[in-house]
Amino acid sequence: MAPTETHQFPPPKVLTYHHHQSSSSSPPPTLITQGAEGRLYKTTHLTRDRPCALKYRPPKPYRHPVLDARLTKARLASEAKVLERCRREGVSVPAVYAVDPAAGWMMMEWIEGVPVRVRINAWLGERCGEEDGEEGEEMDETPLVDLMKRVGEAVGALHRTGVVHGDLTTSNMMLRPPPPPPGQVNGREEEDNKAKVLEGEVVLIDFGLATQSMSDEDRAVDLYVLERAFASTHPRAERLFASVLASYRDAFKKASSVLVKLEDVRMRGRKRSMLG
Partner 1 sequence: MNAITKKKRRIALGCEGSANKLGIGVILHEGDLSSPSSTCTSRVLSNVRHTFVSPPGTGFLPKDTARHHRAFFVRVAKQALADAGVSAADIDCVCYTRGPGMGAPLTSVAVAARTLALLWGRDLVGVNHCVGHIEMGRAITGAEHPVVLYVSGGNTQVIAYAEQRYRIFGETLDIAVGNCLDRFARALAISNDPAPGYNIEQLAKQGGRVLLDLPYAVKGMDCSFSGILTRAEELAAQMKAGGKGPDGEPFTGADLCFSLQETVFAMLVEITERAMAHVGSSQVLIVGGVGCNERLQDMMGAMAADRGGSVYATDERFCIDNGIMIAHAGLLAYETGFRTLMEESTCTQRFRTDEVFVKWRR
CB of 39 to partner 1, least distance (A): 10
User: How far is residue 96's CA from residue 80's CA, in Å, rounded to a whole number?
Assistant: 7
CB of 214 to partner 1, least distance (A): 17
User: How far is residue 219's CA from residue 207's CA, in Å, rounded to a whole number?
Assistant: 15
Active-site residue identified among 49, 140, 146, 167: 167
220: contact with partner 1 by CB under 8 A: no
- Looking at residues 56 to 85 of the shown chain, list those that interact with partner 1 (rule: CB under 8 A): 60-64, 66-67, 71
Which residue in the set 99, 221, 223, 259 belongs to the binding site for partner 1 (CB under 8 A)?
221
CB of 224 to partner 1, least distance (A): 9
CB of 165 to partner 1, least distance (A): 8
214: contact with partner 1 by CB under 8 A: no
Burial of 211 (0-12, 13-18, 19+ CB in 10 A): middle
**Nearer to partner 1 by C-beta: 88 or 271?**
271
3-state SS assignment for residue 87: helix
Distance of CA 197 to CAs 21, 138, 175, 270, Å? 41, 19, 9, 35
239: contact with partner 1 by CB under 8 A: no
Planar angle of CA 50, 205, 128, nearest 5 degrees: 110
H/E stretch holding 171 reads none
216: contact with partner 1 by CB under 8 A: no
Active-site residue flag, 216 = no
CA 121 centroid distance within chain? 15
User: How far is residue 265's CA from residue 222's CA, in Å, rounded to a whole number?
Assistant: 10
> Which residues form the interface with partner 1 (CB under 8 A)?
1-4, 6-7, 33-37, 60-64, 66-67, 71, 166-169, 171, 209, 221, 225, 228-229, 231-233, 235-236, 268-276
Catalytic residues: 167
